[in-house]
Structure 1
Amino acid sequence: MNWSTIAGLVPAPGAAPDFEACLAAFPVLERAKTTVQDPRFHAEGDVWTHTQMVVQELLALPDYLQASPHDRMVLFLAALLHDVAKYRTTVIDPQTGAIGQPGHSRKGAVEARVLLWDAGAPLDLREAVCRLIAVHQVPFFALAGSRSGKTPERIVREGSWQVNLVHLAALAEADMRGRVCVDQQAVLDNIELFRELAREEGCYGSPRHFADAHTRLSYFRGADVHPDYALFQEPGSRVTVMCGLPASGKDSWLAQHRRGLPVVSFDDAREALDLKHGENEGAAAHFAHDKARELLRKKAPFVWSATHLSLQMRTRTLDLLFAYGAEVELVYLEQPRAELLRRNSRRDSTLSNKALQSLLNRWELPTETEAHALRIEQP
C-alpha cells in the first residue's frame, strides 16, 4: 500500500471514515476483530469495535475539525493505529481470566513505524503518529504522577518535547469516549486537568521553554532544577552519537561531517577482536566502552557510531557519556527498506539481511529529551 492511498483515508471535517478501506490499507487490523479486551475497561467488545468508536469520536472533536490537513492526518492515523499491537500483547490470567495487553502502546508505536515507513510516509508525520501511539494513555493517569516517581509537572514538561500535547489530549479523549466503562467520566476529567496543567506550563501545543539545552537535558534526566534558570555546565567531551539501522549511511555521513575525529564503534571492536555479529557482544561492548572512557577522561571530541536503535540501547551509551560531563548530539540516519537491504547485501559484513530486518522489532527513534541536540536526516 503506497502513501498516497493511505493519505486518502483521512476524512475531511464532517466526512465519515471508510473502515473497509482502512482494513485494506492496514491488513494487520483484521486481527483486532478477534482480539478480546477486559470488559471492565472495554465492555464494548473487541479491539476493532473499540478502534472504530475511537476514530468516530475523534472526528467529532473540535481539535480534529479545526486542525490543519497535516494535523488531521496525524490524529486520524494515531487513532486508527493506537491499539495495533494489542493482538500480540494480549495475556489472559489462567486463574482469574483477567485480560491485559501490557506494553501495547510502545510496541504499537514500533509496529506503526514499520507500516508507515514501508508505505513511504513522510518521516516527520510518521514520527508524530508513532510518538502519540507510544504515550497515548499518559493523560489518563498523569495527574497521579508516574511509577518512576515523576510529578505531573515533569510528565507534562517532558511530554511537550516528545509530542504535541493538544494532539495527545485529543487522542486520549477519543480513546476514552470510544469505549464503555464505569470510570469513563473520571478519566475524562483527568484528561481535562492534564490540558489545564499543560496550559499553565505554557506547553499546550509547543515545547515547554527551558533556559538552555543543558538545563533541559539535566531536568529530563532527573535533576532538581527549575526550567527557567540555567544550570552551569562543566566542560567535557563533545560527542556525536550516531543512530540508525545498519547500512543507513553512518560511515558516509561521518566522512563528510566529522572527518578526523576518533570513532568508537562496535564494528571496529568486533574487527579488533575478530568477532562476527552476535558473537560475544559483551567483549565487543567492553572494548568500545574502554576506548570511550579514555577519550572522555581527556575531554576529547569523538564519535560513537552504532545502531543505537532502541531507547534502552542508547541509554547505556548516554549514561556513560553524561557521567563524564559530555555534551552530546544524537544524529539519526534513515533509508527506505529496499535501499537498506541493497546496501547491506553489498557490504563486507557478517550481518545478513534477515538479521537486519529482525532489528525492526525494537526500532525507536531518538527524541529531543535524550541529548543536548538531535539531528534527523534522510535522503
Structure 2
Amino acid sequence: MNKQIDREDLLWTFPGCPTTPGLQINWAVILCQFPCLRSLAKCEQNPLYHAEGNVWIHTQMVCEALVARPAWQAMNVTERSILFAAALFHDIAKPLTTQVAEDGSITAKGHVNLGAQMVRQILADLHTPFTIRETIVAIVRYESLPLWFWDKPQPLRSIVKASQVVRCDWLALMAEADVRGRICVDGTKLLETIEFFREFCQEHDCLDRAYPFSSDHSRFVYFHKEVADPTYAAFDDTRLEVILMCGLPGTGKDYWIDQNHPDLAVISLDRLRQQMGVLPTDPQGTIVQAGRDLAQGYLQSETPFIWNATNIVKPIRSSLIKLFAGYRARIRIVYLEVPLAQVLRQNRDRTAQVPAAVIHRYHDRLEIPDLTECYCLDYS
C-alpha cells in the first residue's frame, strides 16, 4: 500500500537488518531467527538466469547488493528495514514452487503470489505494524515490475496501478539489487531497463508517490475501465455512498458498524442466514442473491447502506462494486483485521459461530483490498 508510514511506526526495525557503522549482515543470526530460510539452500535455479547457484546464495547476494547501494544507505532506519526484509524474503516461496522438467529446465511459476502470502504471515507473527507489513508484501509482489513493465499491454497502467500500493522508486531499488545479486548474461540490459522504468515513472509523476489523480472519482473510473486516460478528470455523478465491509468472521464488523454508523441501513449476510436457516457451510447462493435484491432496492431509492459480509477475495468484492457503481454509488471499503487467535476467540463468543476450519480457510484465501478497487479505503 502506498500509504505514508505512521509516525508511531518510524522506530520499527527488522531483526537482522544491518546498521551503521559497517553495515555487516550477520547471516548466522538471521538463519537462527528465520529457520524457514534454510530451505532456500536446497532449491536450485535456472543457470541461464542464476548462474550464481541456489536461491540462498542469490538471496544473500541480493541483500548485500541492496545494502551497498547509496540510495538504501540514505534512507531512515525504518525504510532500510522495509527494503531489507523484502530482499530477504523475495524468493521465500521458490522451494515450494520450483519444478524441474524432463529436459532439465527449472521453473518456479507462482512463487511471487505465494511468497507474498508467506511474507505476510511471517511479518504478522513478528507483530509488524500493518502499514509496514503490507508495504513489504507489496514490494515482494511487484518487485519484478521494473524489469517487465514495458512488455505489458498497457505499461502506463501497470505503473499507475503499482504506485497506488507501493513507491515505484523502492521497486526500482529492489529490482536493481535483485539484478546485481545474480550472475546472468543479460545483467547490463536489465539494469538499463530499470533505469528506463525510473525515468518513465518520473515522467508520469509517480516515482516516489502514488499517481496524482484529479479526484477519487477519476481514480475509480480509471481502474474500472479497460482503456482509460489517467489524466482525465471524470465528472462526479455519484448519488449515494455504500460501505463495503471486509474482514474475517469475528473481526468486529458488527461492532464497528454500531460504533460508527448506527443510523445506516445494513445488509448483513449473517442475519440473512439466520432468517433463512442457512448454515455457513451450506451453499450461499440464495443468501447472496437475497442480499443483492435488498441492495438494489436501496440503490434505486438512493439510500446509503452498508453491505456487511466477509468479502475476503477480490472477485466477490468486484462483483458487488460493479453492482453498486452501476447505480452511481461511491464505494467505501472498510477492512478490519485482528490476529487470527483473537478472531477464533471472538468467533466463539458470537451467536452465529463459524466453524474454525472455515475461518482458517478464509484466512488462507484472504486478499486485502487496495485503493484501485474503491473511492475510499479505511484500515482498522
Q: TM-score, normalised by structure 2?
A: 0.91
**Equivalent position SS for 1:238:** strand
Corresponding residue number in structure 2 for 1:130: 137
User: Which residue does the alignment assign to 1:171?
Assistant: 174
Q: Secondary structure at the match of 2:332?
A: strand
Specify whether residues 37 and 207 from structure 1 end up closer, same or farther in structure 2 by C-alpha distance, changes over 3 A only: same
Q: Which residue does 2:261 correspond to in 1?
A: 258
Residue 214 of structure 2 aligns with an amino acid whose one-letter code is A
1:291 aligns with 2:294: yes
Code of the residue aligned with 2:127 in structure 1: it is G
SS at match of 1:7: coil
Question: Amino acid of the residue matched to residue 208 of structure 1?
Answer: Y
Name 1:98's counterpart in structure 2: 105
- Aligned 8 A contact 2:13 2:78 in 1: no
What's the CA shift for 1:105? 1.4
Are 1:140 and 2:143 counterparts?
A: no
Aligned to 2:213: 210
* Counterpart residue identity of residue 143, structure 1: W
Structure 1 spans left out of the alignment, 5+ residues:
none
* SS of structure 2 residue aligned to 1:329: strand
2:81 is equivalent to residue 73 of structure 1:
yes
Question: What residue identity is the alignment partner of 1:52?
Answer: Q
SS of residue paired to 1:50: helix
Shift of the 217–283 alpha-carbon distance from structure 1 to 2, 3 Å rule, reads same
Give the Cα separation in 1 of the matches to 2:112 and 2:54: 17
Contact 2:347 2:353 in 1 (8 A): no
| Mapped partners of 2:53, 2:352: distance in 1 | 48
**Matched-pair identity in %:** 34
Shift of 1:223: 5.8
Structure 1 residue 376 displacement after superposition = 0.8
Please say if residues 14 and 85 of structure 2, whose CA atoms lie closer than 8 Å, have aligned partners that are also in contact: no
Equivalent-residue separation in structure 2 for 1:313 and 1:88 (angstroms): 28
Counterpart AA for 2:72 = Y
CA-to-aligned-CA distance 1:15-63 (integer Å, 9 cap, x gap): 1112222222222222222223222222222221211111111111122
The answer to whether residue 31 in structure 2 is matched with residue 12 in structure 1 is: no
CA contact (8 A) 1:236 1:300 kept: no
Equivalent runs, 1:221-300 vs 2, <5 Å: 221-222=224-225, 224-300=227-303
Pairing partner for 2:308 from 305, 310, 325: 305
Contact 1:247–1:343, Cα closer than 8 Å, also in 2: yes
In the TM superposition, residue 323 of structure 1 has moved relative to its aligned partner by 2.7
Cα distance, 1:176 vs structure 2: 1.6
1:121-161 residue CA offsets vs partner (Å, 9 max, x unmatched):
111111110111111111110022x2xx3x22222222111
Tell me which stretches of 4 or more aligned residues in structure 1 moved more than 3 Å. Answer: 3-6, 223-229
After TM superposition, the structure 1 stretch with the greater mean CA deviation from structure 2, 163-172 or 303-312, is 303-312
Structure 2: gaps (5+ residues): 1-8
Question: In the alignment, does 2:345 pair up with 1:342?
Answer: yes
* Alignment-derived partner of residue 180 in structure 1: 183
RMSD of aligned residue pairs (Cα, Å): 2.1
* Amino acid paired to 1:259: P
In 2, Cα distance between equivalents of 1:342 and 1:196: 50
Counterpart residue number, 2:29: 21
SS of residue in 1 equivalent to 2:237: coil
Distance in 2 between residues matched to 1:185 and 1:360, nearest whole Å: 41
Deviations 1:66-117 (A, max 9, x none): 1111110110111111111222222333x43332222221221111111111
Q: Do structure 1's residue 46 and structure 2's residue 49 form an aligned pair?
A: no
Matching residue within 322, 326, 329 for 1:323:
326
**Equivalent pairs, count:** 370
Alignment of 1:362-377 (within 5 A): 362-377=365-380
Matched with 2:64 is 56
Q: Which amino acid aligns with 1:103?
A: G
The aligned residue for residue 89 of structure 1 is 97
TM-score, structure 1 length as denominator? 0.91
The 2-side partners of 1:32 and 1:115 are apart by 16
1:210 counterpart SS class: coil
Instruction: Mark the CA change 1:91 to 1:298 in structure 2 (over 3 Å): closer, same or farther.
Output: farther
Deviation at 1:6, TM superposition (A): 7.0
Q: Is the 8 A contact 1:63 1:166 kept in 2?
A: no
Q: 2: distance between equivalents of 1:99 and 1:284?
A: 46
